[in-house]
Amino acid sequence: MNQAELSGLADISISYLSLLEQGKRDPSFSMIQNIASALNVPLSILVFLAAEKSEIVDISPELAEKLSLTALQLIGTSVNGSTNLSK
């Protein structure tokens, strides 16, 4: 998905989306919800994947890696319409 498609689905401008991607703006919670919905990704997964390392220091690196891989598989499943998750 490109910026134009995502911005249209999330109901935000391309320039604002670009600023978000560059870390130059902080989105509102409703904006994050719109982006997650546009990506067809559960909000909790999007927030986890966007977390800084300092925000998840209490999670072991191994668990964080497994959670990340599982989240990315769920995103792929959501995009591809498949329900098959490999371990």
3-state secondary structure of 45: helix
Q: Is the pLDDT of residue 84 over 50?
A: no
Q: Give the pLDDT band of residue 71 (cuts 50, 70, 90).
A: confident
Regarding predicted confidence, which is higher, 85 or 30?
A: 30
The residue type found at 63 is L
Q: What is the pLDDT of residue 37?
A: 93
| Other beta carbons less than 10 A from residue 44's beta carbon | 10
DSSP 55: G
pTM (2 decimals)? 0.69
Domain ranges for the chain? 1-39, 41-87
pLDDT digits (tens, 9 = 90+) for 32-68: 999 999 988 889 888 888 888 788 888 888 888 888 8
